[in-house]
């Protein structure tokens, strides 16, 4: 099943200009969404959209910058869920800028859009699922019996 | 009291049940075929199948004399909705960016 979104656009502007619109919070909000983006790898930020309860979405997209190569490439995680810290979609948004014909070819690659609970269990067998289960078990235990050491 | 209903995490916490789901993610199988892949007894396999069925992870269809198990697609439909949503979302946003950039260049040129 397709779990990838891909768009390519040509903008008649330099990669430097397009980059500004991808990495300055105020400029991003002009075309995308209100946010608290900062161009620092590892920086956690959020986008706020309208909530969509029918889709189990509280309107906040939780992101973390994973790659930042000025004027060339930007990737951040893109996580969302129904709220209360629960994440239903854990995906990745990557932007690639290529100078072309005096402008910029901008590629958006949004990958890994899949629902965690259903998909993880298939791949997890090879990815230390036991450890995850243990962690989940501990979390369930903690939430049932209160935080340890308090 | 009947068997307590397990939640999704409890259901997949069991190695055998995860293996069954893994098998079914590739193709639908009869209970006998699934049992043939395990060392445990057929009733033990049946019990796991029943749990998976009860939690809505799989559906079971009788074809002839055989019971065919397959992954339930319900959980996947929402993913399709999200993909369609984001597809249109990004397209709209990228067009926004285009018009903003173009209006900007008109002002500065």
Which of A31, A111, A131 has the most B C-beta neighbours within 10 Å, making it the best mutation to test the interface with B? A31
Whether residues B93 and B103 share a domain: the answer is yes
Please tell me whether residues B65 and B12 are part of one structural domain.
yes
Q: What is the least distance, in Å, from the CA of B66 to any CA of chain A?
A: 25
Interface test with A, best of B74, B83, B100, B109 (most A CBs within 10 A): B83
Structural domains in chain A (count): 2
Domain count, chain B: 2
Question: In this structure, are residues B90 and A5 in contact, taking their beta carbons and an 8 Å threshold?
Answer: yes
Write out chain B's pLDDT in tens, 109 residues: 445 556 665 676 678 888 888 888 778 899 999 999 999 999 999 999 998 888 777 889 998 888 999 887 655 566 777 888 888 899 999 999 999 999 987 655 4
A10 and A43 part of one domain: yes
Same domain, B34 and B67: yes
Say if residue A24 is in the same domain as residue A74. yes
pLDDT, residue A86, reads: 80
In whole angstroms, what is the distance from residue A65 CA to residue B37 CA? Answer: 43
Q: What is the mean pLDDT of residues A33-46?
A: 96
Range of the domain at B23: 8-71
Model pLDDT, residue A61? 94
Question: Which residues 5-44 of chain B have a CB within 8 Å of chain A?
Answer: 8-9, 12-13, 18-19, 21-22, 25
B88 inside 8 A of chain A by CB: no
Segments forming the whole domain that contains residue A21:
4-114
Nearest-Cα distance to chain B for A48, in Å, is 14
Residue B3 lies in a domain: no
Residues A67, A132: one domain? Answer: no
CA distances from A75 to A108, A115, A120 (A): 10, 20, 22
Task: Give A52→chain B minimum CA distance, Å.
Answer: 11
B22: CATH: 1.10.10.10
Q: Are residues B16 and B67 in the same domain?
A: yes
ipTM attached to this prediction: 0.74
CATH number at residue A108: 3.30.530.20
Asked, for residue B38, whether it belongs to a domain, the answer is yes
Cβ contacts below 8 Å, chain A against chain B, sum to 82
User: In terms of domains, do A29 and A99 share one?
Assistant: yes
In B1-109, the DSSP E strands lie at 29-30, 58-63, 66-71
From chain B, the residues in CB contact with A113 under 8 A are: 79, 82-83, 86
Residues 6+ away with beta carbon under 8 Å from A48 = A33, A34, A35, A59, A60, A61
User: Are the CB atoms for A29 and A118 separated by under 8 Å?
Assistant: no
3-state secondary structure of A102: coil
- pTM, rounded to two decimals: 0.61
């Amino acid at each position: 099943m397709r779990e990838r979104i891909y768009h390519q656009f040509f903008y008649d502007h330099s990669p430097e200009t397009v980059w500004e619109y991808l990495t300055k919070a105020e400029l991003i909000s002009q075309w995308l969404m209100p946010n608290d983006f900062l161009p620092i790898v590892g920086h956690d930020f959020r986008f706020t959209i309208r909530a969509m309860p029918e889709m189990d979405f509280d309107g906040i997209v939780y992101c973390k910058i994973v790659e930042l190569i000025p004027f060339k490439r930007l990737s951040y995680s893109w996580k969302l869920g129904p709220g209360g810290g629960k994440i239903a979609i854990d995906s990745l948004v990557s932007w690639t800028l290529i100078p072309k014909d005096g402008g910029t070819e901008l590629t958006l690659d949004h990958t890994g859009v899949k629902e965690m609970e259903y998909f993880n269990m298939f791949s997890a067998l090879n990815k230390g699922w036991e450890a995850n289960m243990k962690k989940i078990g501990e979390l369930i235990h903690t939430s049932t019996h209160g935080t340890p050491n308090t | 009291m009947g068997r307590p209903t397990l939640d999704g995490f409890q259901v997949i916490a069991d190695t055998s049940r995860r293996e069954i789901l893994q098998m079914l993610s590739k193709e639908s199988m009869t209970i006998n075929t699934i049992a043939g892949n395990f060392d445990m007894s057929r009733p033990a396999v049946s019990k796991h199948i029943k749990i998976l069925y009860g939690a809505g992870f799989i559906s079971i269809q009788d074809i002839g004399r055989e019971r065919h198990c397959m992954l339930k697609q319900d959980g996947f439909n929402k993913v399709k909705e999200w993909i369609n949503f984001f597809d249109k979302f990004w397209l709209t946003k990228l067009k926004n960016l285009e018009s903003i950039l173009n209006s900007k260049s008109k002002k500065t040129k």
